[in-house]
Amino acid sequence: MKKLLIASTALAAIGTHAVAGGVERAAFTSNFLYEDGNYIELSFGAVNPSVSGVSSPLVTAGATLPSGDMADSYTTFAIAYKRQYSDKLSLGFVIDQPIGANVAYPVSAAPYPFAGAQADLDSLAFTGLAKYKATDAVSVVGGLRLQQATGTVSGLPVESPPAPGTPYSFSTDRSTQLGYIIGVAWEKPEIAARVALTYESEITHNFDIEENFGAVGPLPGTMETTVPQALNLEFQTGVAEDTLVFGSIRWVEWTEFDITPSNLDATLVSFADDRTTFTLGVGRRFNETWSGAVSLSHEETTSSPVGNLGPTNGFTSVSVGATYTKDNMKITGGLRYVELGDATTTSIGSRFENNTAIAAGLRVGWSF
C-alpha cells in the first residue's frame, strides 16, 4: 500500500500551484520528509499561460481594444533533500521558487493602454526543516525559510506626479528575509493514511528601489511587501487494494500583499480577497513498476476586480501523472490543464475571459 504514494504525492507538487491565487508559484509540501531512509529529488516545471482581454468601451472612448496575450511562459525548479538520522529524527532541506510573475503586454497591442507594459517578480527560498516522530502515529515538523525576492516593472501608463502621462518603471534591489514553518502530521502507514497540517509564516521584504517617470528619474525610494502567511492541509488514505485518495486545502492571506512604490501615488498590485485552493485526486498502482494519478483543483472566482498586472480570478484544473520506479529511483511526469477564472481589472475596466494555461512537470527522486 505504501508504494501508492509514489505517483499521487509527486503529482500533487508538479505544476499544481503555477496559477494559484496571488503570485504563488510553489506551495510548500512536507511529502518528501515521509520517504523511506535518505532521499533526494529534483523537480522541473514549465507553464504556458494564454491570457488576453479587451478594454471596456466606457473607458476607452467607445472602442473595445484587445490586450493581446500578456502572460509569458516560464519555468520553475526545486530541490529537496532528506536525511534520516534515527527512527525518530530526520532533517530536510528545500530550494524552490515560491513566488513569481512574468507579465509582458505586446507592443503590437497598441492603442491598448497597457501595450508594452512588463513586470517580473523573481524569488528563491532556502528552507531547513526537522521532523520528529513523537509517537508511532504523530510527527511534528518545524524549520526556517530564508527567502529572496526582486522585481522590475516598466512601461506602465500612470497618471501620477511628478510626470503624469509618461511611462512609469521601477526596479528593486534583492531583499533577503527570514520566516518559519511549523506543522503536525498523523499517519498510519499500513493503509497509506496521512493527514498533515502546516503553517507558513508571513515574510516581509523591505526593498530599496529606483523609480522613473519617463525622463524624470531615477528617483530613490523604498517599498515594503509582505509575502502572506499560509495554512496547508494535506491528506491521503488507501481506499482499496492499490488505490489511494489524496488531496489538499490551502489558504493564503493574499489581502496582506501589495506593491506600492514610495514615489508613486498608487498601488500597482493588491488583492481584495484571501484565497483557498482545493485539490482532490486518486492514485492507482498498476504493477511494481508503474503507478498513476489524476486530480482536480479549484480556486473560487470572486466578484472583486483585479489589477492589470494579474488579470485572472480563480481557476479549475485537471492534472494527470505517471511514475516509473526502478530499484532506488523513481521518475514522475505530469500534465495539467487549467481554465482560468474570468476577471475584470481595476484600471480601464478590461474584461479577461476564456483564458487557459498548460503546465508540465518532471520529478526524479532517489532513495539511498
In the chain, where the domains are located = 2-367
Given strand 53-54, what is the order of strands in its sheet?
A: 53-54, 351-352, 343-344
Number of alpha carbons in the 13 Å side-chain half-sphere of residue 8: 28
CA distances from 313 to 25, 244, 279 (A): 15, 31, 17
The answer to whether 66 and 105 are in contact (CB under 8 A) is: no
The answer to whether 184 and 139 are in contact (CB under 8 A) is: yes
pLDDT of amino acid 126: 98
- Cell of residue 101, nine digits: 510573475
DSSP 309: T
The CATH superfamily holding the domain 2-367 is Outer membrane protein transport protein (OMPP1/FadL/TodX) (2.40.160.60)
Dist. CA 219–CA 173, nearest whole Å: 14
Among 28, 3, 144, smallest CA distance to 80 is for 28
Furthest C-alpha separation in the chain: 70
The answer to whether 50 and 337 are in contact (CB under 8 A) is: no
Our CA dihedral for 109, 112, 113, 118, rounded to 10 degrees, sits at -30
Give, for all 368 residues of the chain, the pLDDT tens digit.
Answer: 554 554 455 555 454 445 567 899 988 899 999 999 999 999 999 999 999 999 999 887 888 999 999 999 999 999 999 999 999 999 999 999 999 999 999 999 999 999 999 999 999 999 999 999 999 999 999 999 999 999 999 999 887 777 777 899 999 999 999 999 999 999 999 999 999 999 999 999 999 999 999 889 899 999 999 999 999 999 999 999 999 999 999 999 999 999 999 999 789 999 999 999 999 999 999 999 999 999 999 999 998 999 999 999 999 999 999 999 999 999 999 999 999 999 999 988 999 999 999 999 999 999 99
Kindly state the helix (H) or strand (E) to which residue 281 belongs, with its residue range.
strand 275-285
The answer to whether 128 and 93 are in contact (CB under 8 A) is: yes
Among 345, 324, 322, smallest CA distance to 334 is for 322
Dist. CA 40–CA 46, nearest whole Å: 21
pLDDT of amino acid 22: 80
CA distances from 186 to 86, 138, 139, 140, 265 (A): 19, 5, 6, 9, 49
Instruction: Identify residue 180 by its one-letter amino acid code.
Output: Y
- Other Cβ atoms less than 10 A from the Cβ of 296: the count is 14
CA distances from 263 to 169, 206, 218, 282, 284 (A): 11, 15, 11, 51, 55
User: Given the C-alpha cell 496571488, which residue does it identify?
Assistant: 22
pLDDT of amino acid 158: 82
Dist. CA 338–CA 297, nearest whole Å: 9
Dist. CA 360–CA 282, nearest whole Å: 19
Dist. CA 118–CA 152, nearest whole Å: 8
The answer to whether 156 and 167 are in contact (CB under 8 A) is: yes
Question: Exposure of 221 by Cβ count < 10 A (0-12 exposed, 13-18 middle, 19+ buried)?
Answer: middle
Among 190, 102, 90, smallest CA distance to 141 is for 90
